[in-house]
Each structure stands twice: as structure tokens, then as C-alpha cells.
Amino acid sequence: MTLIMVVDDDQDLAEMLGIVLTGSGFEVDLVNSGDQVMNIFDNHQPDLVLLDVMLPGLSGIEVCTLIREKSMVPIVMLTAKGDSYDVVKGLEAGADDYMVKPFNPSELVARIKVRLRRSGTESSTTLRICDITIDQVAHTIIRNGKTIPLTRLEFDLLVALAKEPGRVFTRDALLSEVWGYQQAADTRLVNVHVQRLRAKIEEDVDNPQVVLTVRGVGYKAGASQT
Amino acid sequence: MRWLGVKWRSSILFRVISTTFILSLILISLVGSILFIQISNGIFREKTNESVSEAQSLYDYAQGQLDATLYLQSLKLSVVVKRILQASDLTVATTPREVVLIGSPVLHAANGAFNGASGNVEIKSIPQTLRVAVRKTGLAQWIRGDITFTDGSRKSAIIVGHAVEIPPQSPYELYYVFLLTEQQTIVDFIGRLLLFAGFLLIFMIGGISWYVIRQAINPVRDAAEIAEQLTAGDLNRRMHVTGQDEMARLAISFNEMAVSMQQQISRLENLSRLQQRFVSDVSHELRTPLTTIRMASEVIAENKGKMDPAAARSAELLQSQIARFETLLTDLLEVSRFDASASILELKETDIKSLVIQTIDQLHIGNMGQIRTDFSEGSVIAMVDPRRIERVLRNLISNAIDHSEGSTIDITIRQTEREVAVGVRDYGIGFTERESERLFDRFWRADPSRSRLRGGTGLGLSIALDDAKLHQGALKAWGAPGKGANFVLTVPIAPGIPIQGEPIPVDPNDVPSTSFLNFDEDDI
């Protein structure tokens, strides 16, 4: 059973989320305050965290940072302000995706399912991008014999680029491929996560070799070395 | 010359300096001229007096000598005349002079055997006026004039003339020519000196007034400069206060003004910040329960099949009204953002044509044959906020559909070098002039039953107008009852280029006598 941790100070909304998610076949942990999150997180090890940005005690962004320090679990933020800089703050703190209230429950379930999808299982090939080896079975990436921990989203992002080495991906294409958005969505998602990915895998973040920016278009994989 | 004109109008300093310069030039040349004339007259007068008295004694002596030839046989006339004509005979006088002896004209006889002059003086250059005066009066006469020499040179001189008689009874005129070379040199020197002093004075006066005016003007210049910086937004700039004079008072009151302005601005900024905070808080506080309600309604709607018909219909109504409430909330928040000036354009290079096509697609219009498009060739690129422009277009097109009564809807795109325009024209019910005045008012509906067909909030046109203004564009409306309506959105091709023309006239020519609305920056 997949366990989803719902963190929201609004008990009614949390309960409603619980009803909807349980109805979709998930197991749900409800947490009402930011301060309790880490405690429950350590004990229950959820598969995904649904996190409200505005929380009493620790804010959603602080919680996000704390979770990211010890786990690569997918995090989806819930925000009431779609256009504020809270979104970027949350993404920079490690959230994989965000939903703007009031959201459509089926849309929420769809987003959660995309985040839980185990990519790479459909293929057993090992991909190479620059001097990085991507093992799609073990779900790890290795450089110089050392494993680099990535979130599932970052892994998906890198695999998407590595699978088609010559192709330049527009931000919209990546949003559809990695995030599962069918309609135009917030391209900041791509920008922020490419930055986060680069911080982990590039030797020189200011001069990226693995994930290359194609000005005015999008991103592509760097040339692979054998 | 144009530069001078511009400088004259734009700089007090330049104006004052040039006025001072011109006035002192006039004054100093006047004083200098008077001074010069007085001095040179004085010098010449003294020389004249001296010359006249000297000529008198020379004449007395000469006449005496001539008369003596009558009695002294040893004294030959020719010798005496020759001696008289000896210019530099310094035995009698010490002043350098020349002598001219001319025979006066007499009746029936030639007279001029003794004509002669010293020092190459041209005899003819003795002025006729002087000669006439000498002959008439028989007394000493003098004049200041120019003397010509045989070599052609001219010199200024005092000429003193006497009538003499050369025995036996020949009337002659004896002229003594006192050259003014020395006096002329002095006068010339004084003239040059005065000219030099005059110019020196003018420049010194100019310099002093420049210095003094600058002292008075500099604080004014500072004030202007600081005022400009304040205008540019640097609210912390203040004038430097020195001393206790009028300029210091100017600086103090200027600074007080700046302080009070800064306080006003920060007060307004605070208000605006509070307003934005309020909007954002309301947004959060309303959205959370709305999310819960929405999810609950979806869960209920999913179980519609298990309910009795009344409960099932209620579930449907609940769902659609929640959707409407959501739209209303979004629109309200948008309006608050406009009011708080918190709206920001997210400019992107956008193809207006594909945006229009995309908007039409997304409206899922039942009868697509109703839409008639007239687009210009190729793509129509403009730097706009696509989200806002799409919202305006969606609003105009769905309004047109609601009010078209099934008639054709013409959608036109036109572009010029400066602006892009989209026109949405329907041939439906239109609106009266009175209605047109309230068209862009919030929550105003021409016919309440109609707009609700498509779930309009009554804020659409108000937001559309705000969106157009945010782009520094215009949204104009025309309508006539029974003849339909025409809405034209005009936006600049890129920010900072003010729109000038109307690529699409809002008033279609096919309907004469119309109500015409023009919503510009200043309205509302």
C-alpha cells in the first residue's frame, strides 16, 4: 500500500484530502502542524508528501528543506498563491511539483500518480550522459564509481534527456514528459529543477557539461564519453 | 544663432552675462569716446595757441625783413624771401615748422614770382577756405587740416596764415605749417590706451558678474538637480544647507518639502502594501475552504447514481455553483490586484494570431460556422502578456457569442509598425448609448439573464480594460441597438511604444449615426 503524508493545518481540508486519496486507493497519514512532520516522517516513511506552504510552526518551505536533508521522497506542495514567489521558494527547497488551491481532486490524484510512477522499469538499459552512468534498474546514477543520490523527479529528468541524446527538449516538452502535464504549465518547474539537478551532478555548476541550455529553446544532454 | 537662442532661453547665467557685457560695452565706449575727444582737443588746443603766437612773431619778423628791403640796399629781396622760406630757422622759434608763401591773386596781373614752400610742402594743399579768410580779413587766420607733400604723403597740421606785402606792393600770403606729428602720436597712444582699458574693464565686469551670479545661481542649480533626482525616485536626496541667507532658506524649505513628499510616498506605499497583503491573505483564507468544498462536491457528484433525483440535481447545482464561485473569486482577486497596482506584465513574444485561434478553440463554440475571421498574412508578433491578452480575447469573443443572437461574428486582426489590433464584431442586439456608458463598470450587466448563459461574473470587461491599459493599449467599444457591437483591442507591438493610430476603427462604417466610446488612460 502506498502511504501519502498530508500536511495541512486546515483539519477539514486534510480530512477531505484523506477521503479523496483513500478513495483512490492510497493510505493516508494526516499531520496538522509543521512541528510534528519530521517525527511522523521518520516513523512512517511515507512514499509521497503533500505539503501546504502556509503552516503554523515550521513553514511548508522549512519542512520541505528538512525532508530533503534525509530523503528523496516526492514532495508536492499545496499553495493558495499560484503567482507568488512562494512557489519558486518551495521548488528551490526541493518540492517536485505544486498545486494551486482550489484544485480539482482528480487532477491532484493524477499528479500524485505521475510522481509515484517508477520510471526506468520499462527499460533495463544502462544510459550514459557525459561521464555519468545511469542504471535504470537499480535507479541510481554513478560517476567515477560513486553513486550520486537524486530525487525521483531529478532522476526522471536526467533519464528523459539521456534517452534522446541529440534532441533539444523545450520546457513544455519536459513538463509533459517528466511532470505529466498535458496542457501548458509553469515553466519555472523546469528551470528550478534543472538548477537543482545541476547542483548535484555538474562538476562546475556555472559551466554545465551534462545538462546543456539551448538558449531560447530549452535543454539537451551533454555529449557522452565512453 | 539657434544655439545662442537656446542658450539665452535656457541659462540665466548666459542671459545675465551677455546683458552685462553688452551694456558695459555701450557705456564704456561712450565714456571712452568722450574722454578721448576731450583729451585730444586739449592737446590740440594748446598746440594751436602756441602755434598761433609763434606764427605771429615769425610773421612780424618776416614782414619787418621784407619792409627793410625798401630802405637797405644791402638786403636783397630774394635773399629775404629765401630766408623766410627756410623752415628750420631755429633762431626765432624752436618748434619744427614749414613755411609756404603764396601770391594772392590780383587783378590783371600774375602774382607769384616768390611762391615757394619749405620741406617739400605742396603749395596747393593750403586749404582755399583759409586763403580766402586770410585775404578778406588781412589778419592772422588758422585752421587744422591736412598738408600734402610733394612725395604724396599727407600729414595733419595747424596752418596759420597772414597776409604779407612783398615790396613793392605785391600782396602775398604767408603760411606757417606746424606739423602735429608729435601730438598725433600722443593722441593715438592715448586712444590705444583707452581702448585697451575699455576692453579690460568690460571683461573684468563680465568676469565679476559671472562670479557673482554663479554664487546666486549655484544653489538654484543644485535645487533643480536634486529635484530631478527626487523625481527619478531617489527620495533620500537633500540640499546642502550653508549659512543663513536666502539660499539657505531655499535649501531648508526644499528639504522640508522633500521630507514631506517622502513621508507621503511611504505612507501610500504602506497602504498599497497593506492592500496587497490583504488581497493575498483573503486569497489564502478563501481558497482553502473552497478547496475543501470543491473536493467534497466532487466526491458527492461521483456518488450521484446512488442518490434520489432531487439530491442528484442538487449535487450538480452545487458543483456548477462552486465552479462559478471560483471564477468569481479569481476575477475579484484580479480586480484587487489592479486596484493595488500590484499587477505585473509577464511579457513574452507572442503570435497574436495563434493566440486568437487558440482562444476560439478553447471556447468550444457550438456553432463554429458563426465565426468569420479576417486575419492578415503571416504571424502577428507582439511583446505582450499572453495570459492577459488571451483573457481579454476570451472575454470579448464569449461576450459577442452571448449577444450575437446567432448572427455572424467577425474577428479581425490588423497590425501596423507600432500596434496590433484585434476587432470582435457581432450583429446581434448591440447596446444603447446610455448602456455604453456603463459597459466597463464592474458587475454591470446590460441584460442580466443573458450574460449568465456562459457564467460571466460581470467583471470581464472591467478586467479586460485594465489588462489593455496595463499594456498601455486601448479597449474601445461601439454599439447600436439591433445592429450589434464592435470591440477593438489595440496594444503596442512592444512596451514603450505608445499606440498612435487605430488599425481597426471601432466605428464600423456600415452603420451611420452611432454611439462612440473611447476609453483611454484618463477615463474611469
Best mutation target, B285, B290, B292, to test chain A (most A CBs within 10 A) = B292
B16 bridge partner residues:
none
Question: Reduced to 3 DSSP states, what percent helix, strand and coil does chain A have, rounded to the nearest 5?
Answer: 40, 20, 40
According to DSSP, the β-strands at A48-52 and A27-31 are: unpaired
As a whole number of angstroms, the distance between CA A102 and CA B291 comes to 4
Instruction: Give how far A101 is from chain B: nearest CA, Å.
Output: 6
As a whole number of angstroms, the distance between CA B49 and CA B28 comes to 31
B496: phi > 0 → left, psi -120 to 50 → alpha, else beta; which? Answer: left
Cell of B107: 587783378
Whether residues B294 and A17 touch (CB distance < 8 A) is answered with no
A78 and A137 within one domain:
no
Q: Which residue in B has a C-alpha nearest to residue A186's C-alpha?
A: B387
- Summarize pLDDT for A54-107 with one digit per residue, the tens: 888 888 889 999 998 888 899 999 887 655 677 888 888 889 998 888 888 888
Q: Which residue in B has a C-alpha nearest to residue A84's C-alpha?
A: B280
According to DSSP, the β-strands at B141-148 and B116-117 are: unpaired
Cα A42 to Cα A31, A70, A75, B282, distances in angstroms: 13, 9, 15, 35
pLDDT in the model for residue B38: 92
CATH number of residue A15's parent domain = 3.40.50.2300
pLDDT in the model for residue B89: 52
A92 and A18 within one domain:
yes
Q: Which residue in A has a C-alpha nearest to residue B289's C-alpha?
A: A13
* A189-192, Cβ contacts within 8 angstroms, sequence gap of 24 or more: A189/A91, A189/A97, A189/A98, A190/A218, A190/A219, A192/A88, A192/A91, A192/A92
Closest to B115 (Cα-Cα) out of B107, B104, B125, B106: B104
Instruction: Give how far A54 is from chain B: nearest CA, Å.
Output: 9
Which is higher by pLDDT, A20 or B238?
A20
Contacts of B326 in chain A (CB under 8 A): 102
Number of structural domains chain A divides into: 2
Option in B283, B296, B326 nearest A16 (CB): B296
Q: Do B304 and B315 contact (CB within 8 A), yes or no?
A: yes
A176 and A108 within one domain:
no
Cα-Cα-Cα-Cα torsion A206, A211, A213, A217, nearest 10 degrees, comes to: -160
Closest to A2 (Cα-Cα) out of A138, A85, A117: A117
Tell whether A204 is covered by a domain.
Answer: yes
Best mutation target, A32, A101, A171, to test chain B (most B CBs within 10 A) = A101
Whether residues A101 and B295 touch (CB distance < 8 A) is answered with no
Residue given cell 562670479 in the structure block = B211
Query: Which DSSP symbol is given to B123?
Result: G
pLDDT tens for the 524 residues of chain B, in order: 778 888 888 887 888 888 888 998 999 999 999 999 999 889 888 888 888 888 888 888 888 888 888 887 777 777 888 877 775 554 555 567 788 888 888 766 667 777 888 777 888 888 888 888 888 887 888 888 888 888 888 888 888 888 888 877 788 888 888 888 888 888 889 999 999 999 899 889 888 988 888 887 887 788 888 888 888 888 888 888 888 887 788 888 888 988 998 899 889 888 878 877 777 677 767 888 889 999 999 889 888 888 899 999 999 999 888 988 888 888 888 887 787 777 888 888 888 998 998 888 888 777 777 888 888 778 888 999 988 999 999 999 988 888 888 888 999 998 888 889 999 999 888 888 888 888 888 887 766 555 445 556 788 889 999 999 999 999 999 888 888 889 999 999 888 888 887 888 888 765 433 334 444 444 43
As a whole number of angstroms, the distance between CA A127 and CA A149 comes to 16
A17 and A103 within one domain:
yes
A35 and A108 within one domain:
yes
Tell whether A226 is covered by a domain.
Answer: no
According to DSSP, the β-strands at B474-480 and A140-143 are: unpaired
At residue B201, the 3 state secondary structure works out as helix
A111 and A23 within one domain:
yes
Contacts of A102 in chain B (CB under 8 A): 287, 290-291, 293-294, 326
pLDDT tier, A28 (very low <50, low <70, confident <90, very high otherwise): very high
Helices (H), chain A: 11-23, 34-44, 60-70, 85-92, 105-116, 152-163, 171-174, 188-201
**Residue B294 contacts A where some CB pair is shorter than 8 Å:** yes
At residue B507, the 3 state secondary structure works out as coil
As a whole number of angstroms, the distance between CA B203 and CA A96 comes to 79
Option in B284, B295, B298 nearest A81 (CB): B284
According to DSSP, the β-strands at B409-415 and B371-374 are: parallel
Could you say which of A116, A142, A161 is where a domain stops?
Answer: A116
Q: Do B120 and B151 contact (CB within 8 A), yes or no?
A: yes
- Does the N-terminal peptide bond of residue A102 adopt cis geometry, omega within 30 degrees of 0? yes
The DSSP string of B278-293 is HHHHHHHHHHHHHHHH
pLDDT tier, A15 (very low <50, low <70, confident <90, very high otherwise): very high
A132 and A63 within one domain:
no
Whether residues B292 and A20 touch (CB distance < 8 A) is answered with no
Whether residues A101 and B290 touch (CB distance < 8 A) is answered with yes
Tell whether A64 is covered by a domain.
Answer: yes
**Residue B264 contacts A where some CB pair is shorter than 8 Å:** no
As a whole number of angstroms, the distance between CA B425 and CA B397 comes to 9
Tell me which amino acid residue B350 is.
T
Cα B447 to Cα A119, B365, B403, B431, distances in angstroms: 54, 21, 10, 10
Whether residues B299 and A19 touch (CB distance < 8 A) is answered with yes
Tell whether A34 is covered by a domain.
Answer: yes
A104 and A30 within one domain:
yes
As a whole number of angstroms, the distance between CA B481 and CA B202 comes to 79
pLDDT in the model for residue B110: 66
Whether residues A80 and B283 touch (CB distance < 8 A) is answered with yes
The reported pTM is: 0.56
Residue given cell 446567432 in the structure block = B406
* A and B: number of Cβ contacts within 8 A: 50
A184 and A148 within one domain:
yes
CATH number of residue A202's parent domain = 1.10.10.10
Instruction: Give how far A16 is from chain B: nearest CA, Å.
Output: 6
A112 and A131 within one domain:
no
Provide the domain limits for residue A208. 126-221
Cα R_g (chain A), whole angstroms: 18
**Residue B358 contacts A where some CB pair is shorter than 8 Å:** no
Q: Which residue in A has a C-alpha nearest to residue B348's C-alpha?
A: A216
Could you say which of A116, A144, A166 is where a domain stops?
Answer: A116
Q: Do B135 and B127 contact (CB within 8 A), yes or no?
A: no
Closest to A200 (Cα-Cα) out of A211, A189, A191: A211
**Residue B304 contacts A where some CB pair is shorter than 8 Å:** no
Q: Which residue in B has a C-alpha nearest to residue A86's C-alpha?
A: B280
Whether residues B292 and A16 touch (CB distance < 8 A) is answered with yes
Cα-Cα-Cα-Cα torsion B189, B195, B200, B201, nearest 10 degrees, comes to: 120
Cα-Cα-Cα-Cα torsion B69, B71, B72, B76, nearest 10 degrees, comes to: 20
Cell of A15: 480530512
**Residue B216 contacts A where some CB pair is shorter than 8 Å:** no
Tell me which amino acid residue A47 is.
D
Helices (H), B340-456: 352-362, 386-403, 433-436, 448-451
Instruction: Give how far B287 is from chain A: nearest CA, Å.
Output: 6
Could you say which of A82, A97, A116 is where a domain stops?
Answer: A116
As a whole number of angstroms, the distance between CA B16 and CA A226 comes to 83
| Residues sharing a CB contact under 8 Å with residue A6, sequence separation 6 or more, in sequence order | A14, A17, A18, A21, A28, A29, A30, A31, A50
Q: What stretches of B324-366 adopt beta strand conformation (E)?
A: 348-351
Whether residues A20 and B290 touch (CB distance < 8 A) is answered with no
A152 and A196 within one domain:
yes
As a whole number of angstroms, the distance between CA A126 and CA B513 comes to 76
**Residue B445 contacts A where some CB pair is shorter than 8 Å:** no
Whether residues A10 and B289 touch (CB distance < 8 A) is answered with yes
Closest to B334 (Cα-Cα) out of B369, B282, B285: B282
Whether residues A102 and B326 touch (CB distance < 8 A) is answered with yes
* B261-266, Cβ contacts within 8 angstroms, sequence gap of 24 or more: B261/B230, B261/B235, B262/B235, B262/B236, B265/B235
pLDDT in the model for residue A123: 62
Tell me which amino acid residue A76 is.
V
A108 and A168 within one domain:
no
Q: Which DSSP helix (H) or strand (E) runs through B30? A: helix B12-68
Whether ipTM exceeds 0.85: no
Whether residues A101 and B289 touch (CB distance < 8 A) is answered with no
As a whole number of angstroms, the distance between CA A209 and CA A217 comes to 17
Residues of A with CB under 8 A from a CB of B: 10, 12-13, 16-17, 19-20, 23, 54, 80-81, 84, 101-106
Whether residue A191 has pLDDT greater than 80: yes
Whether residues A81 and B283 touch (CB distance < 8 A) is answered with yes
Q: Which domains does chain B have, with CATH numbers?
A: 14-186 (3.30.450), 259-339 (1.10.287), 348-516 (3.30.565.10)
